[in-house]
């Protein structure tokens, strides 16, 4: 559930220093802090086209931790994104903790529906939003990265991509083509990216993708094969962690993020605000989830602090995934979770 945030949410990434206290250290003892330090590392975040989605939040968190950040943007959104950046419309969102602005090292055109340029249909190649962009396939992006930065240009790859052309349809109404397109762009593109980018990564590099609880639970309205795509993404994460770990020494994880009031989520016809409110009301932690929390979790997962973590689905949803029963709306923090009525002394 990604895209531009459709409603105001507190931004805390500029207020959070990416540090953890070492065991036994006291608060205020900065010499004993374990820092999320990505200085000298280069990240590619695939799927950034505005300042409101999880991809942008992850890119910002990586930059806060010292990484150089390149992004891949869907060609139909590329021109608008570049215009917004050029005119300073995203400057407030780009502001980092030190007062500087998040600066993308490179912005590449990327359509992850295509592994190689020869697979792109002629009508797409000649489309006005594509024809001047060169090779916008996954393999084309790999070639551009090596041309721009050398033989092993990457340390971090973030897959923030999802699309299902029939997502508004129930599974019973979904066509074979729509189902396979959802799997291809939302799940197989991660396989393709690991195939082509893992050889370009320094040893101990890290991949992270974005999933959603629909992979494990029924989410009415999230149709068109997208639930299967997220399930495939999580399954592939485990297999890729083994295969790419043995072959290239890289780690592969995914983050299952809670529902987020984004432009993309709103566009598929789901009452996303109701979903956000429902999750918040029924999660162990009831304060609203923010995109920055997903960004900070991703920064940790790709950092040396997570060097022992791979093949994992990390839930960043305030614990909502752990619940098996809706909470009675009458329940208060002092009440009985099972009955929903407040206790009296």
pLDDT in tens, 214-248: 999 999 888 999 999 999 999 999 999 999 999 99
What does the alpha-carbon distance between residue 138 and residue 290 come to, in Å, rounded to a whole number?
30
- Residue 96 phi/psi, 5-degree rounding, is -95, 175
What does the alpha-carbon distance between residue 213 and residue 317 come to, in Å, rounded to a whole number?
9
- Catalytic positions, please? 212, 222
* Nearest to 67, CA basis, from 97, 92, 36: 36
CATH topology of domain 34-322: Rossmann fold (3.40.50)
pLDDT digits (tens, 9 = 90+) for 244-277: 999 999 999 999 998 876 666 666 666 777 888 8
* pTM for the predicted model, two decimal places: 0.86
| Confidence bin at 1 (pLDDT 50/70/90) | very low
User: Of 16-30, 142-156, 206-220, where does mean pLDDT reach its minimum?
Assistant: 16-30
- Could you count the other beta carbons within 10 Å of the beta carbon of residue 332? 11
pLDDT at position 63: 98
pLDDT at position 169: 94
Query: CA 43, 208, 290 angle in degrees (round to 5)?
Result: 95
Expressed in percent and rounded to 5, the helix, strand and coil fractions of the chain are: 40, 15, 45
Q: Give whole-number Cα distances, 12 to 61, 272, 289, 292, 298, in Å.
A: 10, 22, 11, 6, 15
pLDDT at position 305: 97
The per-residue pLDDT of the chain, averaged, comes to 88
pLDDT at position 343: 41
């Amino acid at each position: 559930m990604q895209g531009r945030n459709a409603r105001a949410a507190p931004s805390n990434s500029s207020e959070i220093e990416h540090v953890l206290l070492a065991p036994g250290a006291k608060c205020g003892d900065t010499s004993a802090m374990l820092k999320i330090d990505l200085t000298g590392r280069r990240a590619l975040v695939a799927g950034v086209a505005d300042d409101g989605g999880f991809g942008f939040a992850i890119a910002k968190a990586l930059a806060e931790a010292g990484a150089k950040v390149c992004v891949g943007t869907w060609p139909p959104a590329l021109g608008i994104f570049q215009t917004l950046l050029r005119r300073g419309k995203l400057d407030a969102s780009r502001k980092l903790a030190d007062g500087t602005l998040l600066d993308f090292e490179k912005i590449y055109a990327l359509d992850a529906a295509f592994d190689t340029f020869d697979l792109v249909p002629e009508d797409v190649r000649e489309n006005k939003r594509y024809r001047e962009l060169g090779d916008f396939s996954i393999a084309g992006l790999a070639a551009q990265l090596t041309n721009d930065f050398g033989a092993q240009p990457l340390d971090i790859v973030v897959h923030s991509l999802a699309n299902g052309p029939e997502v508004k349809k129930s599974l019973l109404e979904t066509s074979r083509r729509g189902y396979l397109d959802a799997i291809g762009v939302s799940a197989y593109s991660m396989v393709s990216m690991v195939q082509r980018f893992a050889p370009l990564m320094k040893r101990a590099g890290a991949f992270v993708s974005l999933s959603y609880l629909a992979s494990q639970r029924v989410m009415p309205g999230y149709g068109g094969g997208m639930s299967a795509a997220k399930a495939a993404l999580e399954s592939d994460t485990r297999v890729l962690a083994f295969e790419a770990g043995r072959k290239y020494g890289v780690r592969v994880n995914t983050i299952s993020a809670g529902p987020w009031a984004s432009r993309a989520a709103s566009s598929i016809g789901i009452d996303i605000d109701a979903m956000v409110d429902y999750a918040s009301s029924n999660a162990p932690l009831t304060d609203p989830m923010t995109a920055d929390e997903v960004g900070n979790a991703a920064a940790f997962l790709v950092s040396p602090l997570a060097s022992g973590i791979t093949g994992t689905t990390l839930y960043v949803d305030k614990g909502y995934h752990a619940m098996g029963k809706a909470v009675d709306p009458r329940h208060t923090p002092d009440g009985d979770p099972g009955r929903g009525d407040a206790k009296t002394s």
